[in-house]
Amino acid sequence: MTFPTPLSGPRAILFDMDGVIVDSEPLWRKAEIEVFSRFGIFLTDEACRSTQGLRLDEVVRLRMPLHPPAEQRQARRSIMRRVAELVEREPVDPGLIEFMNLTESLKIQRALCTSSPPRLIHAVLKHTGCAFHKVVSAWTMKRPKPHPACYILCLQKLGLKAEECWCIEDSFRGMVSALAAGLPVWIKAENTLDHQPWHGAAVGVFFDWKELAHRLLAAFNPNTRSANNRHTFPA
């Protein structure tokens, strides 16, 4: 994990959902491949990666520009339903739960800022048991990510300035959205081999929640090595 710039302890952390709270990006790709094939559109996993971070309605319009609106609506509903089904089968990362507990002990507010629809947000929060002080969905916004509107609204709801917060994203479009709102961004990478040129615009990249938990403790007290021992993280 890299730390290009030092950061102070945040008053709030703004979380993206897909790829951050739940490892759902592979699930979105699986659902898109399955559903679009029913309409004669055959995609690869790599092709689906190219639209990561886009809102579902944007993806459907991109993939089905000549299909009638009724079929586009059917595709959206089918993909959303399939992702919700797959999410419920995914194990919850114990490191995420420990990180949430740490933010609670440090009295850090948590906000969710996602492009996903309310139905999927509800499914994910119910499945993971994660709780947030504020939830903002760009699902109905005229300008979704990479526009900063959703993050700006989230900051307004929190009553905080961007420099008082951290943001956690996983996609290029999400990072652009957060940076445009003035937020320092941490990137949650899929694995240790996931190195992208655009990661350099973030303050750091992490691969598991234990890494970020240690960095969060250090941000409140750079000499808090012993403080780490007061919290238990998965190995």
pLDDT tens digit sequence for 110-124: 999 999 889 899 999
Q: From CA 199, how far away is CA 153, in angstroms rounded?
A: 25
Per the DSSP assignment, residues forming a β-bridge with 135 are 112
Q: Which of 18, 23, 170, 208 is catalytic?
A: 18
Q: Can you point out the beta strands (E) in 129-164?
A: 134-137
pLDDT bin (cut points 50, 70, 90) of residue 231 is very low
For residue 192, what pLDDT is reported? 63
Secondary-structure class of domain 12-23+92-228 per CATH: alpha beta
Q: Region 15-24: what's the mean pLDDT?
A: 92
Among this protein's residues, is 45 annotated catalytic? no
Q: From CA 171, how far away is CA 200, in angstroms rounded?
A: 13
The phi, psi pair for 70, rounded to 5°, reads -60, -40
Q: Are the CB atoms for 34 and 82 separated by under 8 Å?
A: yes
E strand or H helix at 167: strand 165-169
| Per-residue pLDDT reduced to its tens digit, 72-95 | 999 999 999 999 899 889 899 999
Token representation of residue 34:
């399955």
Among this protein's residues, is 93 annotated catalytic? no
For residue 8, what pLDDT is reported? 79
| Per-residue pLDDT reduced to its tens digit, 154-173 | 999 999 999 999 999 999 99
Considering the domain 25-87, what is its CATH architecture? Orthogonal Bundle (1.10)
Residues of the chain with CATH 3.40.50.1000: 12-23+92-228
For residue 137, what pLDDT is reported? 94
Percent of the chain exceeding pLDDT 90 equals: 75
* Residue tagged 């990180």 (tokens): 99
For residue 74, what pLDDT is reported? 97
When comparing pLDDT for 8 and 69, which is higher?
Answer: 69
pLDDT bin (cut points 50, 70, 90) of residue 223 is low
pLDDT bin (cut points 50, 70, 90) of residue 54 is confident
Q: From CA 37, how far away is CA 222, in angstroms rounded?
A: 52
For residue 235, what pLDDT is reported? 35
For residue 119, what pLDDT is reported? 87
State yes or no: pLDDT of 230 exceeds 80: no
| Residues 6 or more apart in contact with residue 164 via CB below 8 angstroms | 10, 11, 12
For residue 25, what pLDDT is reported? 84
Q: Would you mind telling me the total number of residues written for the chain in this entry?
A: 235
Q: Which of 16, 23, 170, 208 is catalytic?
A: 16
State yes or no: pLDDT of 2 exceeds 60: no
- The rounded mean pLDDT for the chain is 89
State yes or no: pLDDT of 225 exceeds 50: no
For residue 125, what pLDDT is reported? 94
| Per-residue pLDDT reduced to its tens digit, 182-208 | 999 999 997 766 788 999 999 999 999
Residues of the chain with CATH 1.10.150: 25-87
